[in-house]
Amino acid sequence: MNKNKGFTPILITLIIVGILVVGGGTYYIIKNSKTIPVQNEKENNNTLPDSFTIEMYGNYSSSGADRNYSSELTFIDNKISSGFQNYKVGEGSICKENCNRITECVVKDQKWVDKFTGGECMIDTFSAPLTKEGIMQQIKEGKILLSENIYQCHYSTCYKIKDEGIVSDINNIEEDDNMIIDNKELKKIELSSVDDEKNVVVTKGQIIAITVRNPGDGGFRFDDPKYDSSILQLKNKTHITGMIDPDVNVVRTGDFGEDIFEFESINIGKSKIDITASQLWDGGIKLRNIFSATIIVK
């Protein structure tokens, strides 16, 4: 005879599976077959240095459209010095018109503005805070995640810190073989291919003139130079025709001359200049390096 009457309590055990990464500072909770990155308490309590550069990236792509966000901000003595953020929308099943567009924004007067119009920065996916406190708050809330490889960040915005102590780097620079420190009284600093990959120290208001060979002999065309437009401003680009062959009075075959890129240093900080060229046809070589230098404005 069964003496156990009524309902027998049933124990339901819920198993939460956790994987703890001891050295990496991040653990993962497996829930409904989704992996959710979570920052631990130690990371949340970390403080940012007084001066640093932070780089962020987020891939929000889906079958509807490719969406990629990137930004870089430099803080000096706890205040925003310069920064840019870009948002690219590519083709997809729901993007039929106005695809392959890039929104580019820069920091001006302590706020984000459109790089070309000076108006509102129209990026709706994510916009980087322009205060150190704002960034710390988003780190604490898990809205931006620390990552060694930010370009693998999907459906989130990830960050990494670089150039810590940039102020001391700028104010206490010692000359070495890979550095050019120019006279602050010079209005124009002239660079050429022999200065490729060098660090160049200038003062605010100086012109940096970079002369490079035109790469047209290989079917290349210059791409738009890459630089931080809150630190430097491209003022002028001039083409110089190649040498004339006196025997036939025409430009020598294969000599496409030189081009001069003139930048003005408009704010204190650090910006890399990358001048590249590409073959425009399908299958052509893209973004071939022509000249690169790091400009440090004191």
Pairs from 174-183 (Cβ < 8 Å, separation ≥ 24): 182/206
- Per-residue pLDDT band at 77 (split at 50, 70, 90): confident
Please tell me the distance from the alpha carbon of residue 202 to that of residue 189, in angstroms, as a whole number: 8
- Residues 200, 281 share a domain: yes
- Residues 145, 187 share a domain: no
Sort residue 125 into left (φ over 0), alpha (ψ -120 to 50) or beta: alpha
Please tell me the distance from the alpha carbon of residue 203 to that of residue 67, in angstroms, as a whole number: 38
pLDDT at 11: 39
Give the residue-averaged pLDDT of 31-53: 53
Q: Is residue 3 part of a domain?
A: no
Please tell me the distance from the alpha carbon of residue 109 to that of residue 276, in angstroms, as a whole number: 30
Q: Which residue has the tokens 């893209």?
A: 286
Report which of residues 4 and 101 the model is more confident about. 101
Please tell me the distance from the alpha carbon of residue 126 to that of residue 145, in angstroms, as a whole number: 13
- Per-residue pLDDT band at 274 (split at 50, 70, 90): very high
Q: Is residue 8 part of a domain?
A: no
Domain's final residue, options 143, 164, 185: 164
- Residues 156, 251 share a domain: no
pLDDT at 20: 36
Residue 109 has pLDDT above 50, yes or no: yes
- Per-residue pLDDT band at 22 (split at 50, 70, 90): very low
- Residues 198, 158 share a domain: no
Report which of residues 288 and 22 the model is more confident about. 288
- Residues 274, 190 share a domain: yes
Q: Is residue 195 part of a domain?
A: yes
pLDDT at 89: 80
Please tell me the distance from the alpha carbon of residue 227 to that of residue 85, in angstroms, as a whole number: 12
pLDDT at 166: 52
Of the ranges 56-65, 76-85, 173-182, 260-269, which is most confident? Answer: 260-269
Residue 78 has pLDDT above 90, yes or no: no
Coil, strand or helix: which one is 143?
coil
Give the residue-averaged pLDDT of 242-251: 73
Name the residue range of residue 226's domain: 173-297
- Residues 192, 134 share a domain: no
Q: What are the φ and ψ backbone dihedral angles of 150, each rounded to 5 degrees?
A: -65, -20
pLDDT at 263: 97
- Residues 261, 243 share a domain: yes
Residue 104 has pLDDT above 50, yes or no: yes
On whether the CB atoms of residues 58 and 47 are closer than 8 A, the answer is: no
- Residues 124, 22 share a domain: no
Domain's final residue, options 100, 131, 164: 164
Does this model's pTM top 0.85? My answer is no
- Tally of domains within the chain: 3
- Residues 201, 278 share a domain: yes
Q: Which helix (H) or strand (E) holds 68?
A: strand 67-76
Distances (CA, A) of 186 to 106, 182, 209, 260, 295: 28, 8, 12, 18, 16
With a CB cutoff of 8 Å and minimum separation 6, the contacts of 191 are 180, 198, 200, 208, 209, 210, 211, 291, 293
Q: Is residue 5 part of a domain?
A: no
Q: Which of 104, 105, 100 is nearest to 66 (CA)?
A: 100
How much of the chain exceeds pLDDT 70, in percent? 73
Q: Is residue 6 part of a domain?
A: no
Q: Is residue 244 part of a domain?
A: yes
pLDDT at 26: 38
Please tell me the distance from the alpha carbon of residue 57 to that of residue 188, in angstroms, as a whole number: 35
**Domain harbouring 223, CATH code:** 2.60.40.2020
Give the residue-averaged pLDDT of 24-50: 45
How many helices (H) and strands (E) would you count in the chain?
3, 21
- Residues 220, 150 share a domain: no
Amino acid at 288: R
Please tell me the distance from the alpha carbon of residue 145 to that of residue 152, in angstroms, as a whole number: 12
- Residues 35, 51 share a domain: no
- Per-residue pLDDT band at 176 (split at 50, 70, 90): low
Coil, strand or helix: which one is 265?
strand
Q: Is residue 97 part of a domain?
A: yes
Residue 12 has pLDDT above 50, yes or no: no
Structure tokens at 165: 């102590």
- Residues 283, 220 share a domain: yes
Domain's final residue, options 140, 164, 188: 164
Q: Is residue 1 part of a domain?
A: no
With a CB cutoff of 8 Å and minimum separation 6, the contacts of 15 are none
Please tell me the distance from the alpha carbon of residue 51 to that of residue 201, in angstroms, as a whole number: 18
